[in-house]
Amino acid sequence: MATHRIDVVSDTHGYLSEELVAALAGTELIVHAGDLCSRDDYNTLKAIAPLRMCLGNNDWNYDYGPDVKKLVRFSKWGLRFQVCHYRERIDLATCDVAICGHTHRPFVEKARHGRVLVMNPGSTTFPRTEQGPTIGRLMVGDHGDVESAVIVELEPKDPGEGKGRRRWAFWD
């Protein structure tokens, strides 16, 4: 059975850093939870890997195509995903993985009696925590098993630490 990597990003606000682009190398799917704010960045992410994305509150004047809506539902590797910029607009009863953004604060948790993974990857551009720029990373099997769900810091606070280290993990 294969393991697949999904990288989760949100609130990039028109800026894709070199650290972000490097961290996305090798992913099989990018999920963006809104506030991309750039058609060029949309095309850049699509060139790295297949992209699933929802609209954020700052994406109102951008046209990314018919697949990008306020709430996006899709299935991949046996999992039902919902992606919405606002957590409170996700129907946790109808998904296995819920991805949200907006707060610029990363978290990973279980909901609905441990049956639903909920993730906010934070923000790579305007983080609102001391963790700095972050993304989410999911490792999933072919048949809907989440092997890990982690938040990855893109820039270490201590210059002696390596980039892309795992700050904390929920599903290890």
d(CA 7, CA 151) in angstroms, rounded, equals: 10
pLDDT confidence of residue 163:
47
d(CA 92, CA 42) in angstroms, rounded, equals: 27
pLDDT tens-digit readout, 124-146: 999 998 889 999 999 999 888 99
Which residues in the chain land under pLDDT 70?
A: 156-172
pLDDT confidence of residue 122:
97
- CATH C-level class of 3-157: alpha beta
pLDDT confidence of residue 156:
53
Question: Which residues, 6 or more positions from 79, have their beta carbon under 8 angstroms from its beta carbon?
Answer: 96, 97, 140, 144, 146
- The predicted model scores a pTM of 0.90
**CB-CB contact of 15 with 42 (8 Å):** no
pLDDT tens-digit readout, 66-89: 999 999 999 999 999 999 999 999
Alpha helices (H) in the chain, listed in sequence order: 18-24, 39-48
Give the residue extent of every domain in the chain. 3-157
